[in-house]
């Protein structure tokens, strides 16, 4: 594991999940939504193909057109496309990426200048202009916030892809670095057509990130432990519903068939629609996601006491950490983020994942391989750790995106 990754983390004060897991009732609704998202045909019915996208601001910079949208994204495309192909790459943000500038300067503009590839840069929920007022920097308040972020980005990505198709653009590629790579992979699972995918420095699940990786030290385990034992719903109801691909030997037991699973999906879909009967399509889904996190709790602010907690030696906390709490976190992350709980993308030959050999943020040992989950996908392993790989390999990431889209043109068009 990279020593630099560990040293870099020690410089960051931001803590995660400072209020706890999220209300049990909200997590139950998210579990319903996750079950629907696991089946592409069911998830796709929640998205309105005609969902409106309005241009708020547009300007021309040289041969580049910059478009800013109300739905919190920025698009960079050429004034004139060269040839019949109009490739577009959607970039999902990594942890701490609160705006457009970094992805625009280091990814989108070089892709356009060097390869003629347009880009859409999405601002993540809970980040930038979408950050709650009482949220400190990138410090997500609840575990459920991360779940909502992923679900919202899945739906928003599909809306943007529909819009791009209407505009006559394509082929498409999804990409992101670190957390952004996780989000792009999840979004690819519900798109019903072949699509390029280049997740960089991500994995197949976030469970090792928060239970074995460097970010384990950033989690407020004391808060999570208190919440778990104070409210028995987490243990007696929610935990029984969690499905961890890393722990199960087979998806279905003798007493639970594929037909049973699809019946559960239908019931979950019906509950989602009933709960949001005033709004149709993606409006229902996004409304449910927003409602899940629209609850009042004790706010967190960067006071001296808060910061002193962040500066404490986390190793002692981890040594005394309740194994059951760590296990619950593992299962929770697997339930909502493990790619084994979602549909396989339509064409896995269009997937090229880039991973770091000594990544201390996203451990890859003892985790199901992407190639086993998605046969036909490719993984490129680069030397080094997480942080330095982000700094030193932007050119490689861009080349992989260009390679993916070029292959798309060759094999699909």
Cα–Cα dist 48/376, whole Å: 30
Q: What is the pLDDT of residue 139?
A: 81
Cα–Cα dist 149/144, whole Å: 8
* Residue 204 reports pLDDT greater than 60: yes
Q: What is the pLDDT of residue 396?
A: 97
Q: What is the pLDDT of residue 182?
A: 96
Q: Which residue has the higher pLDDT, 314 or 198?
A: 198
**Spatial CA neighbour of 200 closest among 408, 4, 395:** 395
Q: Which domains does the chain have, with CATH numbers?
A: 3-411 (3.40.50.1820)
Q: What is the pLDDT of residue 3?
A: 54
Give residue-wise pLDDT tens across range 162-180. 999 999 999 999 999 999 9
Average pLDDT of the chain, as a whole number:
80
The answer to whether 228 and 234 are in contact (CB under 8 A) is yes
Other Cβ atoms closer than 10 A to 367: 17
Mean pLDDT of 43-56: 68
Q: What is the pLDDT of residue 269?
A: 60
Q: How far is CA 293 from CA 137, 233, 242, in A?
A: 17, 18, 20
The answer to whether 155 and 161 are in contact (CB under 8 A) is no
Give residue-wise pLDDT tens across range 225-258. 999 999 999 999 999 999 999 887 444 333 434 4
* Residue 61 reports pLDDT greater than 90: no
Q: What is the pLDDT of residue 321?
A: 59
- And the tokens for 312? 């404490």
Residues in contact with 165: Cβ distance below 8 Å, sequence separation at least 6, in sequence order: none
Q: What is the pLDDT of residue 171?
A: 96
Give residue-wise pLDDT tens across range 340-399. 999 999 999 999 999 999 999 999 888 999 999 999 999 999 999 999 999 999 999 999
Give residue-wise pLDDT tens across range 137-156. 878 899 999 999 999 899 99
Sign of CA dihedral 258, 259, 265, 267: negative
> Three-state DSSP class for 177?
strand
Give residue-wise pLDDT tens across range 280-312. 444 544 444 544 444 333 333 333 333 333 344
Mean pLDDT of 123-144: 84
Q: What is the pLDDT of residue 125?
A: 85
* Residue 276 reports pLDDT greater than 60: no
Q: How far is CA 161 from CA 80, 92, 97, 100, 191, in A?
A: 20, 14, 22, 19, 9
């Amino acid at each position: 594991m990279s020593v630099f990754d560990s040293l870099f983390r020690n410089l960051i004060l931001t803590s995660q999940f400072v209020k706890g897991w999220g209300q049990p009732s909200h997590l139950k609704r998210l579990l319903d939504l996750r079950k629907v998202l696991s089946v592409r045909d069911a998830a796709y019915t929640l998205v309105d193909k005609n969902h409106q996208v309005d241009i708020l601001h547009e300007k021309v910079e040289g041969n580049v057109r910059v478009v800013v949208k109300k739905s919190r994204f920025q698009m960079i495309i050429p004034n004139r496309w060269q040839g019949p192909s109009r490739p577009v790459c959607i970039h999902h943000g990594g942890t701490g990426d609160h705006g457009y500038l970094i992805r625009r300067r280091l990814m989108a503009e070089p892709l356009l200048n060097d390869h003629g590839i347009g880009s859409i840069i999405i601002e993540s929920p809970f980040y930038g202009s979408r950050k709650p007022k009482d949220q400190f920097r990138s410090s997500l308040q609840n575990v459920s916030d991360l779940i909502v972020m992923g679900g919202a980005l899945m739906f928003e990505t599909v809306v943007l892809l529909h819009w791009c198709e209407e505009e006559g653009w394509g082929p498409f590629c999804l990409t992101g670095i670190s957390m952004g790579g996780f989000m792009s992979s999840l979004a690819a699972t519900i798109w019903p057509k072949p699509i390029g995918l280049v997740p960089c420095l991500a994995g197949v699940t976030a469970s090792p990130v928060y239970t074995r990786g460097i970010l384990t030290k950033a989690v407020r385990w004391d808060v999570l432990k208190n919440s778990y034992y104070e409210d028995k719903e987490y243990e007696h109801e929610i935990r029984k519903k969690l499905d961890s691909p890393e722990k199960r030997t087979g998806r279905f037991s003798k007493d639970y068939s594929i037909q049973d699973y699809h019946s559960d999906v239908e019931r979950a879909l019906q509950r989602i629609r009933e709960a949001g009967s005033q709004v149709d399509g993606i409006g229902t889904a996004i409304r449910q996601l927003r409602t899940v996190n629209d609850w009042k709790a004790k706010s967190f602010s960067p006071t001296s006491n808060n910061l002193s907690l962040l500066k404490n030696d986390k190793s002692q906390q981890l040594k005394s950490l309740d194994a059951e709490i760590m296990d619950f976190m593992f299962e929770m992350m697997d339930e909502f983020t493990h790619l084994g709980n979602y549909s396989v993308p339509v064409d896995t030959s269009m997937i090229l994942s880039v991973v770091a050999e000594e990544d201390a943020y996203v451990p890859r040992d003892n985790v199901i391989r992407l190639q086993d989950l998605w046969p036909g996908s490719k993984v490129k392993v680069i030397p080094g750790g997480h942080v330095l790989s982000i700094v030193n390999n932007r050119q490689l990431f861009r080349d992989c995106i260009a390679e993916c889209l070029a292959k798309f043109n060759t094999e699909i068009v």
